[in-house]
């Protein structure tokens, strides 16, 4: 693939990125949590529940990229302080989205992995800024992006010196409207041919439907993904964002069990 140098697999070893006590690219990493951090009690309750169910990390947006300026925009610094407390109390590592180049440095103090969302995949100044840090970056695929465009964005980060890039397939926009996006699982296998970077799958944004998260999570395991990021809410009906695609803690726990079983089966196949 043209101009993909640092990210290209070629003869390089596969990248392993350690966050807390899990290794992306080696372990099957499960990240779970609310779309948005809505409050301390809510986030703590979800965090303890997903930890109990076997999640390795918690997710939660403090800065939300919303389609409407009138929709909940996230709690900002307050949300990050909540995530810091959640990390302290549960021992779970934290991933949260950075929207703005001005927030990169100080956000690194509060969280373990910086998420760059689909809408910012090609925000080149943001990519360069996170590339100057050592904090791992979860780079989501843009909703209209080819694999080449996506890997070029990873290349921007690597080229600035940050080797810790984790890719995330989160669905692309097609003519289909039943699902929020079309989860492109062929991308996972293709990415494995093209790059040494780990790749995880987001079946929540990939489908927009809670009922499709379990089957697509299992399919993600079968496709060779290195992990999953899933939205979980203690009371999905009243979630301030993405309520239709959030699992309850109980649903998540059942899903996590099946995911582990399939992963073990897959490992024994190899």
Residue whose CB is less far from Mn ion, 68 or 134: 68
Residue 178, phi-psi category: left (phi > 0), alpha (psi -120 to 50), beta (remainder): alpha
Q: Which is nearer to ligand PEP, 90 or 115 (CB)?
A: 115
Closer residue to Mn ion (CB): 7 or 121: 121
Q: How far is the CB of 62 from ligand PEP (least distance, A)?
A: 11
Q: Which two tokens stand for residue 7?
A: 């990210």
Which of residues 30, 32, 35, 94 is near ligand PEP by CB under 6 A? 35
CB of 266 vs ligand PEP, minimal distance in Å: 25
Rounded to the nearest 10 degrees, the angle between the axes of helix 213-223 and helix 249-269 is: 20
Choice from 25, 33, 74, 117 touching ligand PEP (CB under 6 A): 117
Rule CB under 6 A: say whether 170 interacts with ligand PEP. yes
Residue 51 binds to ligand PEP (criterion: CB under 6 A):
no
Binding mask 181-210 for ligand PEP (x = CB under 6 A): ---------------------x--x-----
> To 10 degrees, the CA torsion angle through 168, 28, 239, 73?
-40
Residue of the chain from 4, 7, 31, 35 that contacts Mn ion (CB under 5 A): 35
Spell 119-151 as b/e; 16+ CB within 10 A means b: ebbbbeebbbbbbebebbbbbbbbbebebeebb
Residue 61 is a binding residue for ligand PEP (CB under 6 A): yes
Query: With CB cut-offs between 5 and 8 Å by kind, which of Mn ion, ligand PEP, none does residue 180 bind?
Result: none
Fill in the per-residue mask, 223 to 242: x = in contact with Mn ion (CB under 5 A), - = not in contact.
-------------------x
Q: Which residues pair with 24 in a beta bridge?
A: 17, 27
Give min distance, CB of 34 to Mn ion, in A: 8
Query: Does 133 participate in binding ligand PEP (rule CB under 6 A)?
Result: no
Q: Do residues 220 and 228 touch, judged by C-beta distance below 8 A? A: yes
Residue whose pair of structure tokens reads 């390089």 in the numeric block? 12
Decide whether 39 or 266 has the Cβ nearer to ligand PEP: 39
Name the residue nearer to Mn ion (CB basis): 7 or 183: 183
Question: To 10 degrees, the CA torsion angle through 114, 259, 20, 143?
Answer: -10
Using CA atoms, how far apart are residues 173 and 219, in angstroms rounded to an integer? 19
- Count CA atoms within 13 Å of residue 185 on its CB side: 16
Nearest to 6 by CA among 184, 131, 170: 131
Strands 137-140 and 113-116, bridge-based pairing: parallel
Per CB under 6 A, which region of 3-11, 12-20, 111-119, 145-153 contacts ligand PEP? 111-119
User: Least distance in Å: CB of 184 to ligand PEP?
Assistant: 13
* 201: DSSP letter: E
Stretch that binds ligand PEP, among 24-32, 86-94, 116-124, 220-228 (CB under 6 A): 116-124
Residues that bind ligand PEP (CB under 6 A): 35, 61, 65, 117-119, 140, 170, 202, 205
């Amino acid at each position: 693939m043209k101009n993909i140098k640092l990210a290209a697999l070629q003869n390089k070893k596969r990248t392993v990125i350690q966050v807390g006590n899990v290794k992306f690219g080696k372990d099957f990493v499960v990240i779970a949590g609310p779309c948005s951090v809505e409050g301390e009690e809510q986030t703590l309750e979800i965090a303890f529940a997903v930890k109990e169910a076997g999640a390795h990390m918690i997710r939660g947006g403090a800065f939300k990229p919303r389609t409407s300026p009138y929709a909940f925009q996230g709690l900002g610094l307050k949300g990050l302080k909540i995530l810091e407390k959640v990390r302290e109390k549960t021992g779970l590592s934290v991933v949260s989205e950075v929207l703005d180049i001005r927030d990169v440095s100080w956000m690194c103090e509060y969280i373990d992995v910086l998420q760059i969302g689909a809408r910012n995949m090609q925000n080149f100044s943001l990519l360069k800024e996170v590339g100057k840090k050592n904090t791992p970056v979860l780079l989501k695929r843009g909703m209209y992006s080819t694999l080449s465009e996506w890997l070029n964005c990873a290349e921007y980060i690597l080229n600035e010196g940050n080797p810790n890039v984790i890719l995330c397939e989160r669905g692309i926009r097609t003519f289909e409207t039943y699902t929020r996006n079309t989860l492109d699982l062929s991308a996972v296998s293709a990415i494995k041919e093209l790059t040494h970077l780990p790749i995880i799958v987001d079946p929540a944004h990939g489908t927009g439907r809670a009922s499709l998260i379990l089957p697509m999570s299992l399919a993600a395991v079968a496709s060779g993904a290195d992990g999953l990021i899933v939205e979980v809410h203690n009371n999905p009906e009243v979630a301030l964002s993405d309520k239709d695609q959030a699992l309850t803690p109980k649903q998540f726990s059942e899903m996590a069990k099946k995911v582990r079983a399939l992963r073990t089966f897959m490992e024994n196949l190899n």
